[in-house]
Amino acid sequence: MLLSDPVSTCLSSPVHYMVCEAGFEIKANHAPSSIVSENGEIYWKTIAEHVQYGEPDQTVDYVESVRSLGPLCESVHMHLQSLTMEQFEDQFGMWFQWTNSSEVFLEMFDAIKSLHAAAISFSLMKLTACLERALGDVFLLIGKDCPFLLRDLLASQELATIFGQSVMDVLRVFIGSPDGLNLRNILWHGFASPQEIPVKYSSMVLCLTAGLGHLLRNYLLQTQSTLVHRPYVSFTNLQELHIFPDLNHELLALAEELAIKSNIVLRPMLPFWMTALLSFRQFRYADCVILLLPQLESGLRLLFTTVNKCPSRLMTAESSSLYTTFDEMLAKQLNNEKANQLPLVLGENTMEFLWDFLNHQEGPRVRDHLSHGESSLKDFPREIANSILAFSITLLCRFFKGDVAAIKEHSVLKPLISCANSYCSKFHPIAQLKKQVLKCMKSISLWSDLPIVAEEQIQEIAGSGKEIVEVPCTLVTADIFSQLQPYLSQNIRLLGDPVNDLITEKLLTDLFRKHIRILFCPRPVLEIVVVLRQISTQCHQVSCQVISTCETRYKQWINKSLRSRQRQNYLRMRRSVTFLSPVLQLILILITLELIHIHTACEKTASGYQQYLKFLKLILQYTENLVTYTSLEKNKWNETVELTHNTLLKIRTFLGKRLMLVQLAN
């Protein structure tokens, strides 16, 4: 695919002027000693005096503020350049401790000294993420719900109370407003190339962070408060997140060639790609992903603007408009309600990967956690870095400038491309429901292995207490199974006897192999999935309770520590299990059949949809009551039989009306 002509910048003219020019227009010399003391204290009054305000509302005039602050930034930068690492640590080290990430700020100083453009911009990305997290911790000293966005955090009254409004205005000029330099956003969203961020702004933000540490110490002493750092978000299910084969040196070397010759890599951004590959080689996995995500966004934005014929969207937007970011690029429609062509070009598998790793609430949401400082940089998982880098390599390959067919035949690329082409969502609500159902089925299958009291011991108290009559439940369950038979695969026969666990598990697994469209699910589909997941969760809870109670009561029986009434209750529970197991399996099969035909819900009338939803909520109410009745505290097994029988009758009646999705689809 031929993409747009190469561009030299993704910064619109006003943003480019603000970042690259405005701060250099005024020539003035400021003694570093007028800005920072020998012990690292920042003279905020001196800096704040250079923030300009407009008439008549006294809002910050960002352009004039950047012009005025430019020379101060130059003086601060020259001061830092004159220091050794040891001198820098002596002067500023203790003032970074409040961030809980002192090492990041020391790295930033090292990058500034190196004058390596990619390293400086990359360090600024890390710095802003850690600073945002630390400011959120400070906010919570007096606030309750910490704002998600940095700009809202910096505009909060809570931080103004702690640090002072003039201090917050200074920060907003650099990182907290789309009208200012907006350094954080233009880097994290892949708009700024390494050469476009003047190093003096990085130096100034570094010193401002130390200055905040000094102000915070004074506030904590005055109020006798203690700053508490929120725990980092930890990534779970790493096995699920390890999608691709492990990357080796040969693949990483090939990736460099692909990046150089790929249509989706803008030339000015190439240093970021190379630094990302180097970071992976050096086992700095968080660094690798921090560098890659904005470049993925930049590359996909180039593709997005090409296929949707909107080249102007490649640039940063004005402050009154939204930037073109992942959220819009991965959406079904453009903001003018026309169909977004990018999903069609990328294909379902690629879109599902991007949604899984970036957007789905139950997924790793890697970009959110890293960019907002919520994830530990030291303990970032290799599995995630490997998956995101491998996925990026497959994209570079797809949009290779040379012979794409030939490059795809490369032996080390084939396994990666195969994984990318076969990827299925793991974190969409539908995918999560599939996992829940199979997990619940495995739990129910354990019932057959529960310890059983010897028959002769049961005979000793046989006839005492009210007996459970489970035959009606068994008959209705068998009747419902027979109604479902036409919708099941031909080699599965459910003739009304208690369902064989292995057969049912195989049935569910086979059914789940059928493709279910998950991209851009309509609201009715997602509403139904929510209820089905709630039902599945309750079924699993019932199963876990039955297993736990059976094991506990059996041990108590063997130890002869059960009272007579408890023994009777235990026997009622054991008899209940024989009919409750197929009932729960029946519900799981119903969930599965409905899920496979979930999009049929959109064909229902409004009243038909509400009637169907009401039916599902009836099953949900049953499973919720079942959780209560089967708990160790309640142990209401007679009531369980009555509740189950009544619910089965209602399910049979609804099936008889042919209103289930599986029935409509067939």
pTM as predicted: 0.92
Compute the distance between CA of residue 659 and CA of residue 615 in angstroms, rounded to an integer: 10
Compute the distance between CA of residue 631 and CA of residue 627 in angstroms, rounded to an integer: 6
Q: Which residues pair with 233 in a beta bridge?
A: 375
Residue 514: predicted pLDDT: 83
Confirm if 211 and 166 have CB atoms less than 8 A apart.
no
Give me the amino acid identity at 579: F
- Residue with structure tokens 């790493």? 238
For residue range 526-548, list pLDDT tens digits in order: 999 999 999 999 999 999 999 99
For residue range 434-455, list pLDDT tens digits in order: 999 999 999 998 888 888 776 6
Confirm if 539 and 592 have CB atoms less than 8 A apart.
no
Confirm if 441 and 504 have CB atoms less than 8 A apart.
yes
pLDDT-flagged residues of the chain (< 50): 462-469, 494-499
Compute the distance between CA of residue 581 and CA of residue 599 in angstroms, rounded to an integer: 29
* Torsions phi, psi for 265 (to 5 deg): -105, 115
Residue 320: predicted pLDDT: 64
Tell whether omega for the bond before 56 is within 30 degrees of 0, i.e. cis: yes
In order of 33, 46, 64, 600, the CA distances from 43 in angstroms are 9, 6, 20, 66
Q: Which residues pair with 339 in a beta bridge?
A: 333
Compute the distance between CA of residue 608 and CA of residue 624 in angstroms, rounded to an integer: 24
* Torsions phi, psi for 626 (to 5 deg): -65, -40
Confirm if 258 and 407 have CB atoms less than 8 A apart.
yes
Structure tokens at 407: 């490059």
CA atoms within 13 A on the CB side of 423: 32
- How far from the centroid of its chain's Cα atoms is residue 528's Cα? 22
Helix (H, G, I), strand (E, B) or coil at 36: strand
Give me the amino acid identity at 307: V
Compute the distance between CA of residue 36 and CA of residue 43 in angstroms, rounded to an integer: 6
Compute the distance between CA of residue 661 and CA of residue 649 in angstroms, rounded to an integer: 19
Helix (H, G, I), strand (E, B) or coil at 556: helix
Give me the amino acid identity at 246: D
Long-range contacts of range 113-120, CB-CB < 8 Å, 24 or more positions apart? 113/80, 113/81, 113/85, 115/199, 117/194, 117/195, 117/197, 117/199, 117/271, 118/194, 118/271, 118/272, 118/274, 118/275, 119/275, 120/194, 120/197, 120/199, 120/202
Smallest CA-to-CA distance from 347 within 166, 517, 529, 586 is with: 517
Confirm if 584 and 504 have CB atoms less than 8 A apart.
no
Q: What angle do CA 416, 420, 422 make, to 5 degrees?
A: 120
Smallest CA-to-CA distance from 20 within 311, 384, 310, 268 is with: 268
Compute the distance between CA of residue 9 and CA of residue 314 in angstroms, rounded to an integer: 9
The sign of the torsion formed by the CA atoms of 302, 266, 179, 377 equals: positive
Q: Which helix (H) or strand (E) is 443 found in, with range?
A: helix 429-445
* Torsions phi, psi for 484 (to 5 deg): -85, -15
- Residue with structure tokens 């409040």? 98
* Torsions phi, psi for 333 (to 5 deg): -125, 160
Give me the count of residues in the chain: 666
Smallest CA-to-CA distance from 356 within 291, 306, 425, 416 is with: 425
Q: What b-and-e string marks burial along 284-293, b requiring 16 or more CB atoms within 10 Å of the CB?
A: bbbbbbbbbb
| Domain range summary for the chain, segments of one domain joined by + | 13-223, 238-421, 429-665
Structure tokens at 104: 């990041």
Smallest CA-to-CA distance from 73 within 195, 168, 200, 180 is with: 200
Residues 6+ apart with CB under 8 A from 61: 52, 53, 54
Q: How many CB atoms lie within 10 A of CB 96?
A: 26
Smallest CA-to-CA distance from 199 within 103, 21, 73 is with: 73
Residue 466: predicted pLDDT: 47
Compute the distance between CA of residue 370 and CA of residue 352 in angstroms, rounded to an integer: 20
Q: What is the CA radius of gyration of the chain?
A: 31
* Torsions phi, psi for 45 (to 5 deg): -60, -40
End-to-end CA distance of the chain: 41
Q: Which residues pair with 375 in a beta bridge?
A: 233
The sign of the torsion formed by the CA atoms of 75, 76, 78, 79 equals: positive
Compute the distance between CA of residue 167 and CA of residue 210 in angstroms, rounded to an integer: 13
Among the residues of 454-500, which ranges form H helices?
Answer: 455-459, 471-484
Residue 554: predicted pLDDT: 87
* Torsions phi, psi for 381 (to 5 deg): -70, 135
